Chain A
Amino acid sequence: MIRFIVRRLLQLIPTLFGLSILLFIWLRRLPGGPETAILGERGTPEMRAAIRQNLGLDEPILIQYGRFIRRMVRLDLGTSISTKREVTTEFLQRFPGTVELTITAMVIAIGIGIPLGYLAARRRGRFLDHASVGGSLIGICIPVFFLAYILKAIFSENLGWFPSSGRQDPTLGATRITNFFVLDGLMTREWDAAADAIWHLVLPGMALASIPLAIIVRITRASVLEVLNEDFVRTAEAKGLTENVVRRRHVLRNAMLPVATSIGLLTGGLLSGAVLTETVFAFSGIGAFLADSISQRDYPVLMGFIMIIAVVYVLVNLIVDLSYSLIDPRVRVR
């Protein structure tokens, strides 16, 4: 187990190395540079050159890359060109918002998706089945930002049930410890602050949950249908077990195996930021900031954020693999 974890973490090193090279090449091939973003169309060639020199962008690319690697080894990600603050600081301030949003979306998707997929399989061919299969198709097709706008228009602007933007009401003056607003509220016992943060998460969380929800419903349904035909379910029935035990212990446990894998992948995907949803709800996560950084050609932010996201992605999947070996004894981690 320990060896499995260590090996997976060691495998991360060449992955990050390769990723950094690809990123470096991709970024430098984008037309324009930070100087264009800063000066707009008005800058003179001299002014541009000065800025490039200042940022060290005039040196040969290999030297620049070498410098980047040297800093990476010291876990120093540099300074943002546009905000002038440390990339690490920016990340630690914004990533918790994305994590909270991801957790909200996955709680909604799993909490509704698994029971719904299970019921659809049990009521196969009946109304609920057709409704959930059709509904999940719509969930996959509908653009997330469109859904976000609709949710905001109905539940926030029209009905006023939920706040329309931000992560928390600033007038509450909540104490910040980890920048996970819900967690901070719980730690400092500022219950109103925690509740307000959760309130702000509901609508963007619902918008973001749509695709994972649709996928989880479909995978659960297909998986349950397959397991219901398995011989061991017949054995369980032959033992006269109650329907409840047959369902929980024999059908659901086995049906969850493929669902667990997909949950890991979906979570990893959401953690890399939801640009449009965050923009619609002016939710300060990493998504909107990353989008800005691309248009600003903020190289250090882009490099740093993407590298950290890659690490997080690998860690999430490592956790999924480890939990998978807990629910399926045939898979041994070595």
Chain B
Amino acid sequence: MALLDVEELSVTFARRNQRPVRAVDGVSFSVDAGEVVGLVGESGCGKSVTSLAIMGLLPKQPGLTVGGKAVFDGTDLLKIDDRSRRDIRGRDIAMIFQDPLSSLNPVVPIGIQVTEVLTRHRGMKGEAAAKEAAQLLDRVGIPDPKRRLKEYPHQLSGGMRQRALIAMAVACQPRLLIADEPTTALDVTIQAQILELLKDLVRDSGTALVMITHDLGVVAGMCDTINVLYGGRVVETARRRPLFRQPRHPYTVGLLGSVPRLDAGRGERLNPIPGSVRDLLPWPDGCAFAPRCTRRIDSCVGEPPALVVTHDSRGYRCVNPAPLPGAPGEEVREVVPGSATPGSVPAQAVPDDPPAVPGLAATPSEEDVA
């Protein structure tokens, strides 16, 4: 049985006088113990909301509905009470975020931010906790850990901050680590180091990792299984090799086309996907990718495309997938009809950009914070 089984997860934000927004619209994927799973897609496709829903960390705002299941080790995380959830968070499932500076408390020393996890879940205090914290910092490659423990986040470099956050996340040897774009805010050279560190940590400890990124280049080096998201749905699932060799969903094909390749000749142009993430069709009306798809046919529109699961347990949600070159054809195991709840619009706004859906801001405005 999988360590984490996400089934038909959906997250809806209701809005005043407007149709509700479905940020996540029936996402299903699973993570085996020790496996590295990628969640890939352009900005706004629902990656962060998916991970926050699993962790129970979505902002508590009125109008928020979470549906589906997220079964971790036999327990549905969406059904348990707040106390059990707090026991699991940080101990069994840990998470690291995109921006290491804003993710650290600016007025609390790094040491306390590490030891508080040890105190909470491992009952360690005083000297023992401090010693363990120093060892953790050392393990994530922070030099002179004793001194760093006393320092504040602003005294560390960006890479060191993310290392410190990783130290806090692995402090209790969790069985699952969720990393939401852990390198996006960092310099290119530092990015590679942090990815290397994460790879080493999960390999050595047997921790399963959900790697969230908009960059297929990142998952290429580390993920066993990859889920490609579009418009709040998983549109293709495959093991790494088949996905990179023979992508089936036109969106995956497009993403691969826009990954810079080291072996590409000079002057060879990248092929970005035409249009923008904002041009999307609501799933109830057909394939959300249809407005940008070069393989679109008539049957793409009208109803949501079914999920096709093939013999090698790949899956894609497309009625006209890219052909398998020279292959004897595939054996289709299962076709799950695409369903969609009508009456809602998918959300796909780039954060900090004008909202994809008129009237929807990426973050709720605090009109009464004066």
Contact = CB atoms under 8 A, between A and B. Distances in A.
Contacts of A236: 105
Nearest to B101: A231
A249 B105 contact: yes
Contact of A234 (B88, B97, B108): B97
Contacts of A222: 369-370
Interface stretch (B113-121, B124-132, B140-148, B227-235): B113-121
Contact of A240 (B87, B99, B154, B370): B87
B104 A235 contact: yes
A241 B116 contact: yes
Interface stretch (A22-30, A303-311, A324-332): A324-332
Contacts of A241: 86, 90, 116-117, 120
Given A225-B366, A240-B85, A243-B86, 9 more contacts: A230-B102, A238-B89, A238-B95, A239-B94, A240-B88, A240-B117, A250-B108, A328-B106, A329-B154
A134 to B, nearest CB: 13
28 contacts: A222-B370, A225-B366, A226-B366, A229-B363, A231-B97, A231-B103, A232-B103, A232-B104, A232-B105, A234-B103, A235-B97, A235-B103, A235-B105, A237-B89, A239-B94, A239-B116, A240-B89, A240-B90, A249-B105, A249-B112, A250-B105, A254-B107, A329-B106, A329-B107, A329-B109, A329-B152, A329-B154, A330-B107
A218 B368 CA distance: 11
Contacts of B39: none
A253 B112 CA distance: 14
A249 B116 CA distance: 10
A138 to B, nearest CB: 17
Nearest to A224: B369
Given A249-B105, A253-B107, A329-B154, A238 B90 contact: yes
A277 B335 CA distance: 81
Given A225-B366, A231-B99, A330-B154, A238 B105 contact: no
A245 B105 contact: no
Task: Classify the secondary structure of A's interface with B.
Answer: helix
A237 B117 CA distance: 11
Contacts of A234: 57, 97, 103
A237 B57 contact: yes
A100 to B, nearest CB: 32
B103 A240 contact: no
Nearest to B165: A235
B89 A239 contact: yes
Interface string B75-94: 00000000001111111001
B55 interface: yes
A237 B85 CA distance: 10
Given A245-B120, A329-B152, A231 B366 contact: no
A171 interface: no
A225 B95 CA distance: 24
Contact of B102 (A225, A231, A245, A329): A231
A240 B88 CA distance: 7
**Max chain B Cβ within 10 angstroms of own Cβ: one of A232, A250, A330:** A232
A231 B94 CA distance: 15
A238 B120 contact: no
Contacts of B86: 240-243
A249 B104 CA distance: 12
Contacts of B95: 238
Contact of A238 (B57, B102, B366, B369): B57
A178 B90 CA distance: 56
Interface in A137-188: none
Interface string B45-59: 000000000010101
Contacts of B57: 234, 237-238
Interface string A210-236: 000000001000100110011110111
A229 B366 contact: yes
B245 to A, nearest CB: 36
A278 B191 CA distance: 65
Contacts of B107: 253-254, 257, 327-330
B168 interface: yes
Nearest to A239: B90
A215 B88 CA distance: 40
Interface string A245-267: 10001100110010000000000
Nearest to B99: A231
Contacts of B89: 237-240
Contacts of B103: 231-232, 234-235
Contacts of A249: 105, 108, 112, 116
A236 B95 CA distance: 10
Contacts of B102: 230-232
Contacts of A327: 107
**Max chain A Cβ within 10 angstroms of own Cβ: one of B89, B104, B106, B370:** B106
Contacts of B152: 329-330
Contacts of B108: 249-250, 253
B106 A240 contact: no
| A-B residue pairs, 6 tightest by C-beta | A240-B90, A240-B89, A239-B90, A231-B102, A232-B105, A329-B152
